Amino acid sequence: MRTIVLNTQNLVQDGQNNKLIYRFPNSVSFKDNYIAVQSVVLYYSWYNISAAIGNNLCSYIWYSGATQITRNVVIPDGIYDVAALNAYFQFYFLQVGDYLVNSAGNNVFYFNFEINPSAYAVQLCTYQVPTVLPAGYTNPSGFTLPTQKFNPSFIFPVSTLNALGQQIGLNALLGYPSGWSSGLNLGGATAPYFNANVILGKYFGVTYSYTLATGTQGYLSSTAPNITPNASAYISISAINNPYALPSSIIYSVTPTNGIGRVILSEPPQFSWNRLIDGSYNQLTVTILGIDLQPLLINDPSMSIMLTIRDGNESFTTK
């Protein structure tokens, strides 16, 4: 058996860090040879929200006096969980002045996302914006009290689809329908309201919602959230043809088992051999793909991939 190593030096310099080329010192001929992954080391550094993916846009409706305003939010490219995404929205509110300050000096925001673990859902809560400042509250520069009570209406844009026909918008990450929006609740709630049992809402595709007498509105995602759409990365090698895989060049899967930004070390317990296509080669190309089978945009170029090649007369069980 023979081992070859691909690392940062083998990366194609296109800024995507997903394609490595191993050039043999001399042209080699393969006939009845097999290849397997020995180990993969790379950093968990691919974004889950970005302009390149197409899931970084959303908006919400706000009132300033009697004027309705639509705030179009562009989320910076990054790696977000629900808490980090909610923190960015709060940062945005501070920039545009859509918040109040209570008597304790704490900022008061009027919608937030959070995990609801018992429902396995992402919950959106919106809160009634007052027409009169509550006792001890102050408003920042630029904040004009509305002329009628309302809840901010959060809006997911219509989702685009990936190469497999799957939704890839922000709604898909959080488990909401494409193009969905929360209620504006103009004038404020007059009585508590519940639209459906949470179990029916979750499993029949209807977003469960409720309104409290205080005007607070809550919503649960209607499908399981997919905050990490590329939870695995596929290793594809140019010189194989696996008729049982799509694409036919996939040889291995890498799944992060630790936190974002940490090193991923993946070593198969046993080699999974794939036959190399017979022929003469001066190079091998290794591509790292996402769940949608498209090249995965990786931010950190530090990586190492070890491959093992064996002749047909060598043992399959050796590692």
Tell whether the model's pLDDT for residue 197 goes beyond 80: no
Q: Which of 213, 196, 216 is nearest to 204 (CA)?
A: 196
**Mean pLDDT to the nearest integer, 138-147:** 92
What lies within 8 Å, CB to CB, of 266 at 6+ separation is 39, 40, 41, 252, 254, 255
DSSP designation for 169: S
CA distance 115 to 63: 27
- Please write the tens of the pLDDT for every residue from 271-301: 989 999 999 999 999 999 998 899 999 999 9
Question: What's the confidence (pLDDT) of residue 319?
Answer: 55
- The yes/no answer on whether domain 2-46+230-311 falls in CATH 2.60.120 is yes
- Please write the tens of the pLDDT for every residue from 5-15: 999 999 999 99
Mean pLDDT of the chain: 89
Q: Which of 177, 241, 234 is nearest to 208 (CA)?
A: 177
Question: What's the confidence (pLDDT) of residue 203?
Answer: 39
Higher pLDDT, 40 or 202: 40
Higher pLDDT, 210 or 137: 137
User: What percent of the chain stands above pLDDT 90?
Assistant: 69
**239: alpha, beta or left, given left = phi > 0 and alpha = psi -120 to 50?**
alpha
CB 225 within 8 A of CB 30: no
**313: alpha, beta or left, given left = phi > 0 and alpha = psi -120 to 50?**
alpha
Question: What's the confidence (pLDDT) of residue 187?
Answer: 84
* The pair of three-digit structure tokens given for residue 62, joined into one six-digit string: 């706000």
What lies within 8 Å, CB to CB, of 69 at 6+ separation is 61, 62, 63
For residue 200, CA distances in Å to 21, 212, 223 come to: 51, 20, 12
* The pair of three-digit structure tokens given for residue 217, joined into one six-digit string: 């509105």
The residue extents of the domains of the chain are: 2-46+230-311, 57-220
Helix (H) or strand (E) holding 95: helix 82-96
Question: What's the confidence (pLDDT) of residue 196?
Answer: 45
